């Protein structure tokens, strides 16, 4: 990297700009004020929406496959490949944004499409598959993903269950004759969620309502996940339901651990290593990170906190851009972020901030550049 450069490493502004678009607007704003300063862009992600795009922006090759959407409709989804590593993003096929018309389907949505993408990636014989979990539409414990990889879920009469978390109360046995853990391939889950599968901190209780589950549906999903865990753990001879991350993506973390032997790593740390953050950081004078909302969730391992932590270890100052800021200066400092610039600082209408996020962000960055990149004489 160029000595004295600025490294722009933001996550997406959800609902407004992708991480690639954020990085581009920030770079454009910097060049307006300091065209003499080298700018290196590195869009990042924490395992959720945008993980494949971030990988492609950092040199991975994009591949496409037809997969099952969360309610069964076919979708064309992407995964990424480079040097024996495949990056599969669950949200690409099984995310909330894939629901037809945005209609939530808490009991019937399935992770089958994530399994379709894993199957497609495995055809390239990778030595490692990184499975990014986040933004899922389903609470099916990863049962749909495993169906796509050859597992059959059977009821008391030996009939195959319908898809979705709502049907899991009926599972009594598994047919594993069509499934074999891929030889020579290791799996790792990238997730910023440390919830177990079950209980008050589990997938159904915490995340079910976000996917449309009402008060009467959350207990049904919990019962189904418990039954799924009982049967799967008995058949496989493992117990992973209480492991941190088992509840990620509606329980897909559980299936990845139990069936694929996956380890779980904090999403942003894993992705920064995978994407070569340290090499791009070397020699930088400033890092600019960001996401749509800098709030309490940011402090729990979201991308800006991970970027700030990595840059801080190298002694490089970090500032952030965002749509809205809900953290105090003290909280930002504790996270390693020296200053934050929000779109709401220059446009108080939240609807305009969402609709005109690109131009506003570029304008905001000129203020940042003036303050943090003063010309040297």
For the chain, percent of residues with pLDDT exceeding 70: 99
The Cα angle at residue 82 between residues 78 and 87, in degrees rounded to 5: 40
Q: How far apart are CA 115 and CA 132, in angstroms?
A: 12
347-369 pLDDT, tens digit per residue, is 999 999 999 999 999 999 999 99
316-349 pLDDT, tens digit per residue, is 999 999 999 999 999 999 999 999 999 999 999 9
- Same topology between domain 6-44+276-372 and domain 59-268: no
The confidence band for 3, taking pLDDT boundaries of 50, 70 and 90, is low
Residue 183, Ramachandran bin (φ over 0: left; ψ between -120 and 50: alpha; else beta): beta
Q: Mean pLDDT across the stretch 23-34?
A: 98
Q: Mean pLDDT across the stretch 15-19?
A: 95
Map tokens 């105090």 to a residue: 328
Q: How far apart are CA 100 and CA 231, in angstroms?
A: 32
Residue spans of the domains in the chain: they are 6-44+276-372, 59-268
Q: Where are the beta strands (DSSP E) in the chain?
A: 6-8, 39-41, 61-68, 74-82, 85-89, 128-132, 152-154, 173-175, 186-191, 263-266, 286-294, 318-325, 339-342
Q: Mean pLDDT across the stretch 275-293?
A: 97
Map tokens 């796509």 to a residue: 148
HSE at residue 282, side-chain half, CA atoms within 13 A, is: 5
- Structural tokens at position 283: 């020699």
* CATH superfamily of the 6-44+276-372 domain: Glycerate kinase; domain 1 (3.40.50.10350)
In this predicted model, which residue has the larger pLDDT, 377 or 53? Answer: 53
Side-by-side strand order, sheet with 74-82: 61-68, 74-82, 85-89, 128-132, 186-191, 263-266
Report the pLDDT value the prediction gives residue 300, as an integer from 0 to 100: 83
Closest to 89 in 3D by CA, of 125, 113, 124, 57: 113
97-107 pLDDT, tens digit per residue, is 999 999 999 99
Closest to 288 in 3D by CA, of 45, 41, 50: 41
Q: Mean pLDDT across the stretch 115-124?
A: 98
Side-by-side strand order, sheet with 339-342: 39-41, 6-8, 286-294, 318-325, 339-342
Report the pLDDT value the prediction gives residue 59, as an integer from 0 to 100: 95
Q: What is the pTM of this model?
A: 0.94
Please provide residue 187's backbone torsions phi and psi, each rounded to the nearest 5 degrees. Answer: -120, 140
Q: Mean pLDDT across the stretch 109-133?
A: 98
Residue 198, pLDDT above cutoff 70 = yes
Report the pLDDT value the prediction gives residue 273, as an integer from 0 to 100: 95
Q: Mean pLDDT across the stretch 138-159?
A: 98
The confidence band for 192, taking pLDDT boundaries of 50, 70 and 90, is confident
Q: How far apart are CA 297 and CA 331, in angstroms?
A: 12
Longest alpha-carbon distance in the chain:
81
Residue 308, pLDDT above cutoff 90 = yes
Report the pLDDT value the prediction gives residue 2, as an integer from 0 to 100: 58
Strand partners, 190: 132, 265
Q: Mean pLDDT across the stretch 279-305?
A: 94
Report the pLDDT value the prediction gives residue 268, as an integer from 0 to 100: 92
Question: What burial letters (b/e) apply to 347-358, b meaning 16+ CB within 10 Å?
Answer: beeeeebbeebb
82 three-state secondary structure: strand
Class in CATH terms, 59-268: alpha beta
Please give the mean pLDDT across all residues of the chain: 96
């Amino acid at each position: 990297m160029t000595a004295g450069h600025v490294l722009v490493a933001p996550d997406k502004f959800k609902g407004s700009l992708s991480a690639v678009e954020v990085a581009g607007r920030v770079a454009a704003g910097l060049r307006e004020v300091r065209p003499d300063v080298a700018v290196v862009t590195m869009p990042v992600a924490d395992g959720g929406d945008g993980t494949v795009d971030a990988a492609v922006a950092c040199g991975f090759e994009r591949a496409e496959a037809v997969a099952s959407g969360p309610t069964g409709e076919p979708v064309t989804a992407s995964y990424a490949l480079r040097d024996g590593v495949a990056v599969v993003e669950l949200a690409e096929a099984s995310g909330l944004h894939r629901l037809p018309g945005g209609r939530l389907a808490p009991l019937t949505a399935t992770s089958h499409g994530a399994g379709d993408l894993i199957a497609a990636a495995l055809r390239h014989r990778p030595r490692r598959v990184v499975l990014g979990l986040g933004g899922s539409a389903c609470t099916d414990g990863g049962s749909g993903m495993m169906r796509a990889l050859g597992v059959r879920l059977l009821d008391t009469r030996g009939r195959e269950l319908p898809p979705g978390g709502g049907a899991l109360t009926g599972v009594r046995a598994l047919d594993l004759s069509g499934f074999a853990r891929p030889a020579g391939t290791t799996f790792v889950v990238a997730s910023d969620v440390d919830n177990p599968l079950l209980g008050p901190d589990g997938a159904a209780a915490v995340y079910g309502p976000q996917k449309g589950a009402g008060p009467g549906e959350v207990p049904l999903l919990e019962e189904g996940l418990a039954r799924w865990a009982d049967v799967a753990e008995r058949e496989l001879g493992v117990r992973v339901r209480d492991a941190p991350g088992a509840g990620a993506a509606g329980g897909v973390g559980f299936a990845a651990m139990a069936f694929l032997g996956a380890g779980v790593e904090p999403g942003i740390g894993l992705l920064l290593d995978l994407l070569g953050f340290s090499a791009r950081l070397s020699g930088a004078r400033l890092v600019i990170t960001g996401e749509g909302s800098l709030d309490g969730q940011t402090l729990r391992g979201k991308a800006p906190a991970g970027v700030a932590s990595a840059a801080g270890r190298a002694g490089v100052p970090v500032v952030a851009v965002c749509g809205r800021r809900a953290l105090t200066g003290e909280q930002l400092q504790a996270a390693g972020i020296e200053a934050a610039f929000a779109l709401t600082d220059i446009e108080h209408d939240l609807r305009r901030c969402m609709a005109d996020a690109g131009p506003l962000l570029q304008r905001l960055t000129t203020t940042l550049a003036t303050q943090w990149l003063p010309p040297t004489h």
